[in-house]
Chain A
Amino acid sequence: MLDDFETELVAALPVLRRYALSLCRRPDMADDLVQTTVERAVEARGRVEPGARLQPWLFRILRNAWIDTGRRQATRGTEIDVHATPEAAVTDGARATEASLMLKQTVAALETLPADQRDVIVLVCFEELTYAEAAGVLGVPAGTVMSRLARGRVALARRMGIDRAADA
């Protein structure tokens, strides 16, 4: 039987694993990162702020675990997972095709961005964290998250040809 903390932790596992995959790209390593995250989260559960969302806190633990592995340097920052098979889980044919095409193009464009900009785009635009939550995950001020995110999105627009207005 699970308590509320454990229930929420287990419910967050798929999202944690997806984030781990976006960092390291390797399923086996992603699983290890998630497992390490669970261990550290259980140890530190007394320090969870009451009322705060658990997910950003778990992301921060996971990201720190990732940094601890020393792999970040080896792979030059955040890598977006393009090898997972998202199509399999989406059933709406036309929309799925459009969306997965968009995903591939977006991921390709993100790969060209500096790692710190990619990090915040993944957290805010993909994982739907608030600016403040992303700041907590990355351990930087919210203003830094916002400037990285704005610069990243301007660059992304340029790369993807959606910057009709950007050069005006």
Chain B
Amino acid sequence: MATHDLSDETLMAYADGVLDADTAAAVERAASEDETVAQRIALFRATGDVLATARAARPAEPVPETLMARVRATLDAARDTRVTPFARPAGRGAASGLPWAPMALAASLALAVGLAAGLTLRPDTAPDAARGLAALEAGGIAGALSRLEAGAAEHVAAGEVSVISSFRMPDGALCREFELDTERDATIAVACAEGAAWNLRFAASTGAGADSGQSYAPAGALEALDAWMVSVEAGAPLPPEEERAALSALED
């Protein structure tokens, strides 16, 4: 039907305005020389117009409240499992008799909390490391935590994971302090094993990124981590043989 060996697909794409400039120019030349080509284009324009008019009469209706409630519940549930939010230390402060300056620590902890909240709520705008941390499994971090001995490092999808130490919580849970370095930033974090999964318990930026221009203060990260360790009554770092035993027990 289309002489000039121009396909219907090409003429339709021309009518829809999605052809590249060169092909469009060739179509225009053909249309000016051949009435059947021009008529074919007109047909596609006409169907486009009819469908556009019909489209205007089928607005999307508001979502029923029952469906909206189900969607909200799904989003909430997903958020709870995606990352364990920063666990607010219990029994911290004057009552626990900690020796350090409360104001500076409070500021550091606030920064750490802010980052952890960022992990949960806005992974797309959070620093690279935070985004990587937001998915311990997907980023390959969980695997590294189950494999690496303290002092070892491995490159995974989320960045470079360096395990600093292993320790146990008062309830016996195995936890690992580690650093995650991406090209833009670095984060120090703690994740604890729960069954076969790793849950993020603490994260603070150490701001090592070369040109990240971060606005949050990195200096407090280690102090904040220390304070957190004390407040959750983290145990001392496990010696290598105990760590190895703990890691192999994870695989069971």
Contact = CB atoms under 8 A, between A and B. Distances in A.
A, B from the same assembly: yes
Interface of A: 1-6, 9-10, 13-15, 17-18, 27, 31, 34-35, 38-39, 42-43, 46, 81, 84, 86-87, 89-90, 95-96, 98-100, 102-103, 105-107, 121, 125-126, 128, 130-131, 143, 146-147, 149-151, 153-154, 156-157, 160, 162-166, 168
A-side interface mostly:
helix
Interface in B102-127: 121-125
A163 B47 CA distance: 9
B67 interface: yes
B58 A84 contact: yes
Contact of B50 (A27, A46, A162): A162
Contact of A17 (B35, B48, B52, B67): B67
Interface in B22-59: 35-36, 39-40, 42-44, 46-48, 50-59
A99 B51 CA distance: 10
Contacts of A34: 63, 67, 71
B50 A160 contact: yes
Contacts of B43: 153-154, 157, 162-166
Given A14-B60, A157-B47, A102 B53 contact: yes
Contacts of A3: 121-124
Contact of A154 (B8, B60, B123, B135): B8
Interface string B11-27: 11100001000000000
B58 to A, nearest CB: 5
A31 B48 contact: no
A43 B8 CA distance: 40
A156 B47 contact: yes
Interface of B: 7-9, 11-13, 18, 35-36, 39-40, 42-44, 46-48, 50-64, 66-68, 70-71, 74-75, 78, 121-125, 135, 138
A86 B13 contact: no
Contacts of A162: 43, 46-47, 50
Given A35-B71, A125-B48, A126-B54, A4 B61 contact: no
Contacts of B36: 165, 168
B61 A89 contact: yes
Q: Which one of B18, B40, B51, B59 has the greatest number of beta carbons of chain A within 10 Å?
A: B51
A100 B59 CA distance: 11
A35 B71 CA distance: 6
B139 to A, nearest CB: 9
Contacts of B60: 14-15, 17-18
B18 A131 contact: yes
